[in-house]
Amino acid sequence: MSATGAPAQQITGSNRFMLLILLVPGLLALMTTFLLPMIWLARASFSTSSMAAFGGGMTLEHYHAALTDPFYWKVAMNTLSLGVTVSFFAVILSYPIALFLTRSTSRWRGVLTALAVAPLLTSAVVRTYGWMVILGDRGVINGTLQALSLTTDPVRLSNNTFGATVALVEILMPYSILAMLAGFGRLNPQLEEAASMLGASKLRVFWRIILPLSLPGILTGALLVFVLAISAFVTPRLMGGGRVFVLGTEVFQEATVTLNWPLAAALSVVLLALFSSVIVIYQRALRRLEA
Amino acid sequence: MSEHHVVVDNLVKTYPGAATPSVDHVSFALPKGEMLALLGPSGCGKTTILRMIAGLIEPTSGAIQLNGREISQTPVHKRNMGMVFQAYALFPHMTVAGNVAFGLEMRGIPHSERGPKVQRALDMVKLGHLGDRRVTQLSGGQQQRCAIARSLVIEPELLLLDEPLSNLDAKLRDEMRDEIREIQSRTGVTAIFVTHDQDEALSMADRLAVMSAGKIEQIGTPREIFDAPANEFVAGFIGAGNFLSGRVTAPGEAEIEGLGPLRFEAPARIGSQVNLMVRPHRFKLAAPGPNAFTGQVDSLVYRGQILTLGISVGGKRLTADLHTHAGHLPAKGETVTLAVAPGDVTFLSEAAA
Amino acid sequence: MTKRLSLSLLALLAASGAAHAQDKTPLNVVGFSGVFAENYEKFIIAPFEAAHPDIDVIYQPSKNSAETLALLTLQRSDPTVDVALIDVSVAIKANGEGLFATLDEASVPNLADQPDWARIDGDKSIAFSQDNLTILYNTETVSEPPTSWTDLADPKYKGKIAAKLADTRGVILIPILNKIAGADYKDSIDPAIELMNQFAPNVSTWEPAPDCYAVVQSGEVDLSICWNGRSQYLHDTQGGIIGVSAPKEGSIGQTNTINLVEGSAHADAAKAFINYALSAEAQATFAEQSFYGPVNSKVELSPEIAERIYGSPEAQAAQMSLDWPWIATVYSEWIQRINREVIAFN
Ligand SMILES: Nc1ncnc2c1ncn2[C@@H]1O[C@H](COP(=O)(O)OP(=O)(O)OP(=O)(O)O)[C@@H](O)[C@H]1O
Ligand SMILES: [Mg+2]
């Protein structure tokens, strides 16, 4: 809590040169793996050739098609609402876990943290299949319900938005837990002690101290999950039984089935724009929160 | 006991898994308005006692009374104590005023009354003009004051301070020392503070409890502790001393190995082994005679008002603090004689030969 | 030193490449993966290589036609692929981009035996086999196999059907359903959409995973709309769990085309290969082994094989083919309508 930090490092001329040299490989890698494909994507979205070939003319027709079609607006709304729902539940479920892990003084803490993020070791596809087994018509839950004679016909738990949401929440929870663990730096048991010494009950310590101090971590976790959720397409496709239309699945459809690459590119750019605006708004809010 | 404001009775704390208790049957009592310093080396259990009183940890056994009421079972947030943490523990997401108002808010004090109280508390610690600042934008000393204001504004029954000055530089520490003492006596709040700095303890506290390994070795006024330490530990921990041991040869006289006879004023059986101590400032320059030791000056440290010199006598080293205005000051290599009055020799312990 | 080393290495490589080239002409064929690839290598490529010892056919399986198209687009200036086997709808798309070369009867004599509808875009893409759309059922849970496309709407299959229709399967099902409704697919597809909506409430998933076959085999669904070739193969290899029921109203095949890549460095070898692949002999063998319908009009199938490819004589008589170049113009629009007017509501 002490206000004194390390003195700011002075970056001198030769230092800066060294810095540049050190950054070159990273920048190059970023260029070739991120920036160039992005540029290509942006260019493809204006292409007049249906194969999005370079050269040739430019057209806004694909944006026109994407933005004037009410179906895509609905898909965009679906995407946003899926993103919001998934981040909401992922955050609600991750928060107690991350809080527990941060505050725990147990010597098992490291092991527990590793366990909490261990699902990242398996691919999202594998975990999606896992959820299909659990939520399917003949899955674990329906099997149990029927064995207990609570239901006769299977309850539709997968192949719909519900299933996609459940699977996405679970698949993305490790990310929000990690983001929260990283973002809970300002939490400090002594602050909680100070608050209770000043007369705050456990509940008020939570509302007035723990929650506000962990809010940046929560918001970072939510943002990360949101971005991953609105760009997801494998899980919504498989768990949604084809019924969940989000921008990710639409891009996939246009790119691999109807082979309208410029339209797929335009939809990707729309998705990117959606991302970027959410991130910008978010960071503004976050900065205000921390100011 | 009942006239005491705070009573700690046979307090024991053994942390889970620990072989020995960190706090071992500690008892003391404080009248209202008194300031007690808990002093001792690192790890002796000072913080643990403070946290048990605060209710932040549960005692293994023993009782804590406040105003004659047993409070061991009272939850922290109902004990109405103020605490100043070593690292201040200010709420980083609130302003200075917000931090100070927090305790009032928890007590359901209406907003309109909070403002003036907060302002008064901030004025008291000279932060009146910084109420709107974020606490992260305060200097170390200002954070310290803010923490004090925050703990006093709730008018606590008892103020607890855990090494409140250890994060400050030397000059600021002296300033704050006086300030805390001043605020405490002005508000009349009973206070317990933890330190391992003897100067701090001696200058601030009404009474001192010197601790070692979970036990209180001695409790008393600074003067009692300094002039009549109960044992070698206390004597060694508080102030410097020349520790001398020898055999009692006559009533009030012991033969100190290598030095010769030394007279002291305490009853001791002839033939027993005694441990004695002479504080450096009790030595005076004198002519050779009884209770005087002659040797060559082999070290000199000039400290402004005081000159600390060391002489070797018969294989022993003696240290003396002389006032620099006391006329002639010896030089290195000079032969001097140091004398001490029998009444200024501290008797520490006696063991049968 | 290093320069000389790399130079000599290059020389060595060139020499070995040249030696290889002297031995055999490499012919790169990109096509479908899985059982198709196995059968194609065994029954088409192996006999061809035996007859042409100077040609070495290298078969490269591709995940789907879209991927093949992406590969061809990337390599258009300097193609390494000589022959591509792709879906007809993708082939037409590729022809729009000029990715394939025109064939002629002089260099590919067997072209003469292909029906008109199979010679697409002025002999740039030639249909060589048709894989019928069919209904797959689980023999353990379905005691009375469906016999008609309209059986899909039977309420007893509620939640028991897998139907991936947002691709060529849907595009093929539309003309079939339109015909059942007595309408021409070139006029309006509303009747087909309406029929789809009749069985849509029975559909459990529009996106069976991992594929439309596995969900029947695992018992997750009773019926699934799938391709015949793979279904027959699974019927034979999976201990009879999988049954195939070719509906009596007939069906249409997913049409596979063979194409010579424009700019191929081994065009002559490629044409020889294409000629063989289109021969009555090759198509008959492939039909018998993989249950893909042949295209060459000279192929005579035994009644048993014909039944496994097209279904009952009634169904065989009702077998249809499509005007693929026309379909290509409405392909996306139809899928869009299936998505928006059927799947989105069910
Ligand atoms: N949470 C704990 N669990 C186990 N042992 C502890 C715990 N806290 C303190 N101890 C042990 O109890 C003993 C007393 O600790 P305490 O913090 O009270 O010492 P202290 O006198 O305040 O020391 P310092 O001057 O270094 O702050 C130490 O030996 C310490 O290791
Ligand atoms: Mg301590």
Q: Mind giving me the DSSP string for B176-233? A: HHHHHHHHHHHHT-EEEEEES-HHHHHHH-SEEEEEETTEEEEEE-HHHHHHS-SSHH
**Percentage with pLDDT > 70 across chain C:** 94
DSSP letter string, C57-110:
EEEEE-S-HHHHHHHHHHTTTS----EEEEEHHHHHHHHHTT-BPPP-TTT-GG
Please say if the pLDDT value at position A185 is more than 80.
yes
Q: Which residues of A touch B150 (CB under 8 A)?
A: 198
Q: Which residues of B touch A185 (CB under 8 A)?
A: none
Q: State in Å: Cα B45 to ligand 1 middle.
A: 6
Q: Which residue has the higher pLDDT, C209 or C289?
A: C289
- Quick: pLDDT tens for B282-323: 988 888 888 888 888 888 888 888 888 898 887 788 899 888
Rounded Cα–Cα distance for residues A271 and B226 (Å): 77
B337 φ, ψ (degrees, to nearest 5): -120, 130
- Distances in Å between the Cα of C224 and the Cα atoms of B110, C35, C219, C228 are 70, 19, 11, 11
Mean pLDDT of all residues belonging to chain B: 89
Q: Which chains touch C (3 or more CB pairs under 8 A)?
A: A
Instruction: Show the domain range for B324.
Output: 240-350
- Amino acid in position B215: K
User: How many residues belong to chain C?
Assistant: 346
Give the pair of three-digit tokens for residue A42. Answer: 């942006």
If asked whether residues B173 and B267 sit together in one domain, one would say no
If asked whether residues B268 and B165 sit together in one domain, one would say no
Please work out, in degrees rounded to the nearest 5, the angle formed at the alpha carbon of residue C224 by the alpha carbons of A254 and C317.
100
Once rounded to an integer, what is the mean pLDDT over residues C136-163?
Answer: 95
Among residues A183, A148, A170, A4, which one has the least CA distance to residue A92? Answer: A170
Rounded Cα–Cα distance for residues C125 and C260 (Å): 8
- Quick: pLDDT tens for B22-61: 999 999 999 999 999 999 998 999 999 999 999 999 999 9
Under DSSP, is residue A40 helix (H, G, I), strand (E, B) or coil? helix
Tell me the pLDDT band of A57, cut-offs 50, 70 and 90: confident
DSSP letter string, A67-90:
HH-HHHHHHHHHHHHHHHHHHHHH
Instruction: Classify strands C161-162 and C223-227 as parallel, antiparallel or unpaired.
Output: parallel
Give the pair of three-digit tokens for residue B260. Answer: 């010769």
Q: Which residues of C touch A51 (CB under 8 A)?
A: 69, 73, 93, 97
Match 């997801």 to its residue by tokens.
A232
**Upstream peptide bond of C191 is cis (omega within 30 degrees of 0):** no
Asked whether the beta carbons of residue A159 and residue C205 sit closer than 8 angstroms, the reply is yes
Give the pLDDT of residue B239.
81
For B246, the enclosing helix (H) or strand (E) is strand B242-250
Q: State in Å: Cα A198 to ligand 1 middle.
A: 23
If asked whether residues B259 and B230 sit together in one domain, one would say no
CA of C166 to nearest chain A CA: how many angstroms apart?
8
Once rounded to an integer, what is the mean pLDDT over residues B3-23?
Answer: 91
DSSP B349: E
Q: What is the CATH number of the domain that holds B154?
A: 3.40.50.300
Give the pLDDT of residue B353.
62
Closest CB to A196 among B76, B140, B143:
B76
Q: Indicate the burial class of B118 (C-beta count within 10 angstroms; 0-12, 13-18, 19 or more).
A: buried
Counted domains in chain A: 1
Give the pLDDT of residue B105.
94
CB B236 within 8 A of CB B208: no
- Amino acid in position B213: A
Cβ contacts of B307 within 8 Å, gap of 6 or more: B300, B301, B321, B322, B323, B324, B329
Cβ density class C184-219: b for 16+ within 10 Å, e for less: ebeeebebbbebbeebbebbbbbbbbeebbebbbee
DSSP B282: G
Tell me the pLDDT band of A9, cut-offs 50, 70 and 90: low
Give the pLDDT of residue A2.
40
Please say if the pLDDT value at position C210 is more than 60.
yes
Cβ contacts of A63 within 8 Å, gap of 6 or more: A45, A266, A269, A270
Q: Looking at A249-253, B258-262, C77-81, C191-195, which range is the least confident one?
A: B258-262
Q: Which residue has the higher pLDDT, A243 or A288?
A: A243
CB B126 within 8 A of CB B145: yes
Tell me the pLDDT band of A53, cut-offs 50, 70 and 90: low
Cβ neighbours, 10 Å, residue C295: 25
Please say if the pLDDT value at position C87 is more than 90.
yes
- Quick: pLDDT tens for A93-138: 999 999 999 988 888 888 988 888 888 888 888 888 888 888 888 8
Give the pair of three-digit tokens for residue B312. Answer: 């070797």
DSSP C49: H
If asked whether residues B136 and B27 sit together in one domain, one would say yes
The residue nearest atom 28 of ligand 1, judged by CA position, is B43
Q: What is the CATH number of the domain that holds B274?
A: 2.40.50.140
Closest CB to A190 among B76, B87, B102:
B87
Rounded Cα–Cα distance for residues C167 and C163 (Å): 10
Give the pLDDT of residue A1.
38
Rounded Cα–Cα distance for residues B275 and C208 (Å): 93
Residues with CB in 5 Å of ion ligand 2: B 47
Among residues C296, C269, C270, which one has the least CA distance to residue C282? Answer: C296
DSSP A48: S
Distance of CA C295 to the CA centre of its chain: 12
Instruction: Give the nearest ligand 1 atom to B38 CA.
Output: 21
Q: Indicate the burial class of A10 (C-beta count within 10 angstroms; 0-12, 13-18, 19 or more).
A: exposed
- Distances in Å between the Cα of B172 and the Cα atoms of A1, A4, B177 are 18, 15, 8
Q: Which residue has the higher pLDDT, A76 or A289?
A: A76
- Quick: pLDDT tens for A233-268: 889 998 999 999 999 999 998 888 888 889 999 999
Once rounded to an integer, what is the mean pLDDT over residues C114-142?
Answer: 95
If asked whether residues B223 and B121 sit together in one domain, one would say yes
Rounded to 10 degrees, the C-alpha dihedral C238/C240/C244/C248 comes to 170
CB A199 within 8 A of CB B103: yes
Q: Which chains touch A (3 or more CB pairs under 8 A)?
A: B, C
Give the pLDDT of residue A71.
92
DSSP C244: E
B223 φ, ψ (degrees, to nearest 5): -65, -45
Q: Which of B50, B56, B76 to mutate to test the interface with A (most CBs of A within 10 A)?
A: B76
Q: Which residues of B touch A199 (CB under 8 A)?
A: 77-78, 80, 103, 106-107, 154
Rounded Cα–Cα distance for residues B196 and B211 (Å): 10
Once rounded to an integer, what is the mean pLDDT over residues C138-161?
Answer: 95
Mean pLDDT of all residues belonging to chain A: 87
Tell me the pLDDT band of A291, cut-offs 50, 70 and 90: low
Rounded Cα–Cα distance for residues C122 and C109 (Å): 15
> How many CA atoms lie within 13 Å of C208's alpha carbon, on the beta-carbon side?
27
Give the pLDDT of residue C251.
96
Asked whether the beta carbons of residue B56 and residue A208 sit closer than 8 angstroms, the reply is no
Tell me the pLDDT band of C276, cut-offs 50, 70 and 90: very high
Give the pair of three-digit tokens for residue B179. Answer: 């300030």
Among residues C256, C259, C333, C321, which one has the least CA distance to residue C292? Answer: C256
Please say if the pLDDT value at position C15 is more than 70.
no
Mean pLDDT of all residues belonging to chain C: 91
Residue A81 maps to a domain: yes
Rounded Cα–Cα distance for residues B74 and B47 (Å): 19
Give the pLDDT of residue A12.
65
Please say if the pLDDT value at position A30 is more than 50.
yes
Q: Which residues form the pocket of ligand 1, taking CB atoms under 6 Å from any ligand atom?
A: B 15, 18, 22, 42-48, 196
Residue A219 maps to a domain: yes
DSSP A187: -
Domain-ending residue, one of B182, B216, B236: B236
If asked whether residues B211 and B170 sit together in one domain, one would say yes
Tell me the pLDDT band of B269, cut-offs 50, 70 and 90: confident
Helix axis angle for C168-180 and C324-337, nearest 10°, is 100
Domain-ending residue, one of B174, B205, B236: B236
Rounded Cα–Cα distance for residues B88 and B77 (Å): 18
Give the pLDDT of residue A7.
44
**Percentage with pLDDT > 90 across chain C:** 85
Give the pLDDT of residue A212.
93
The order of strands in the sheet holding B253-256 is B260-263, B253-256, B242-250, B273-278, B345-351
Counted domains in chain B: 2
CB A132 within 8 A of CB A238: yes
Starting from the CA of residue B41, give the closest ligand.
1
Distance of CA B64 to the CA centre of its chain: 21
If asked whether residues B42 and B68 sit together in one domain, one would say yes
If asked whether residues B49 and B126 sit together in one domain, one would say yes
If asked whether residues B64 and B78 sit together in one domain, one would say yes
What chain C holds in terms of domains, given with CATH numbers, is: 25-130+254-306 (3.40.190.10), 136-251+320-345 (3.40.190.10)
Asked whether the beta carbons of residue A258 and residue C332 sit closer than 8 angstroms, the reply is yes
If asked whether residues B52 and B179 sit together in one domain, one would say yes
If asked whether residues B269 and B195 sit together in one domain, one would say no
Rounded Cα–Cα distance for residues B247 and B268 (Å): 10
- Quick: pLDDT tens for B163-185: 888 877 888 888 888 888 888 88
CB B165 within 8 A of CB B201: no
Q: State in Å: Cα B42 to ligand 1 middle.
A: 8
Asked whether the beta carbons of residue B151 and residue A197 sit closer than 8 angstroms, the reply is yes
Cβ contacts of B107 within 8 Å, gap of 6 or more: A199, B154
If asked whether residues B45 and B192 sit together in one domain, one would say yes
CA of C168 to nearest chain A CA: how many angstroms apart?
8
Please say if the pLDDT value at position C17 is more than 80.
no
Among residues A214, A227, A231, which one has the least CA distance to residue A282? Answer: A227
CB C253 within 8 A of CB C92: no
Q: Which residues of A touch B88 (CB under 8 A)?
A: 1
Q: What is the CATH number of the domain that holds A185?
A: 1.10.3720.10
Among residues A124, A160, A154, which one has the least CA distance to residue A139? Answer: A154
Give residue ranges of A with CB < 8 Å to any C CB.
Answer: 49-51, 53, 71, 128-129, 132, 136-138, 153-154, 156, 159, 237-238, 240-243, 245, 253, 255-260
Q: Which residue has the higher pLDDT, C202 or B258?
A: C202
Once rounded to an integer, what is the mean pLDDT over residues B327-349?
Answer: 86
For C332, the enclosing helix (H) or strand (E) is helix C324-337
Residue A50 maps to a domain: no
Once rounded to an integer, what is the mean pLDDT over residues B243-256?
Answer: 87
Please work out, in degrees rounded to the nearest 5, the angle formed at the alpha carbon of residue A192 by the alpha carbons of A187 and A198.
145
For B337, the enclosing helix (H) or strand (E) is strand B335-339
Cβ neighbours, 10 Å, residue C287: 25
Instruction: Show the domain range for A229.
Output: 61-290
The residue nearest atom 30 of ligand 1, judged by CA position, is B43
Q: State in Å: Cα A191 to ligand 2 middle.
A: 17
Q: Looking at A16-25, A90-99, B214-223, C238-247, which range is the least confident one?
A: A16-25
Under DSSP, is residue C214 helix (H, G, I), strand (E, B) or coil? helix
